[in-house]
Amino acid sequence: MFSKEDKKTNEDLSQTSNIIGKETVLEGSLESIGNIRIEGKIYGNVKAKAKFVMGAEAYVDGSVVARSAEVAGKIKGNIEISELLILKPSAVISGDILTNQLVVEPGATFNGGCKMGHLAKEIQISTPQSRAGEKAIKRA
């Protein structure tokens, strides 16, 4: 389905990093094939095909889906991590956690349910072309 060039491009993109800075506020969903680091605030869902990292002052009001994650900030929403989730001492989670492995450092807080050991599933990232098709279908 993919040519060798397309595969290489996707592998290269998975090594990229996206940073939402400390004074940045994003309203809407964020999806990336690569890593995502949040230092600011996001009001919407976050999806990373690679690693998701949150600084101590960061805030997400929405669900988070990623391969692995290290959270030091606040999340108000559900978290689904297919490999390892690390909650740092300053982490505050208000929502359910679904992960394969969980590390909760002393001081971290979460209010919600937790399921561990689930089978990892492929994280689907929408492409701009598929989103354009979705909008056209919704308008019809």
Q: What is the pLDDT of residue 44?
A: 97
CA distance to 34, 51, 61, 125, per residue, from 9 (Å): 12, 18, 31, 15
What tens digit of pLDDT does each residue of 78-129 get? Answer: 999 999 999 999 999 999 999 999 999 999 999 999 998 865 566 777 766 6
Contact 84, 99 (CB under 8 A): yes
Angstrom distance (rounded) from CA 91 to CA 122: 26
β-bridge partners, 38: 20, 54
Where do the structural domains in the chain lie, given as residue ranges? 4-139
**11 pLDDT band (50/70/90 cuts)?**
low
Q: What is the pLDDT of residue 12?
A: 57
What tens digit of pLDDT does each residue of 33-77 get? Answer: 999 999 999 999 999 999 999 999 999 999 999 999 999 999 999
